[in-house]
Structure 1
Amino acid sequence: MDYNLMREFADSWGLLAMALFFIGCIAFALRPGSRRQADEAARVPLEED
């Protein structure tokens, strides 16, 4: 692959893919029921074995 071809791909489709991935991560973190899981994960270091 040529440098210019790779750069054009990154400028267009690569940027779109990264933006969609970022939006997906945000949506996954804000989904219903994630608050309970986040609270449980936050308490793990404080639990006694």
Structure 2
Amino acid sequence: MSAYDVARHFADSWGLVFLFGVFLFAVGRALRPSARDEYEHARTVVLRDEEPGK
């Protein structure tokens, strides 16, 4: 078995599990209650009328 075949087998079997874990981590981080202020700030930052550099 070549190195390519081993890497391909690993990606086929565990790659999906890894990416699903990353997805769950990102969703959990975004939906945690302590992140509300951070995302409220990010949501309204483009609507503020401020001078550049202040």
TM-score using structure 1 length: 0.78
Deviation >3 Å, runs of 4+: none
Task: Give structure 2 stretches of 5+ with no counterpart.
Answer: none
CA-CA distance at 1:10 after TM superposition: 0.2
RMSD (Å) for aligned C-alpha atoms = 1.4
CA-CA distance at 1:22 after TM superposition: 0.6
CA offsets 1:2-49 (integer angstroms, 9 cap, x no match): 221111100112221111011000000001122221111111112223
> If you compute each CA radius of gyration, which structure gives the higher value, 1 or 2?
2
TM-score using structure 2 length: 0.73
Task: Give structure 1 stretches of 5+ with no counterpart.
Answer: none
- State percent identity of aligned pairs: 39
Instruction: Name the structure 2 match of 1:25.
Output: 26
Instruction: State the structure with bigger RCO (CA 8 A, min sep 6), 1 or 2.
Output: 2
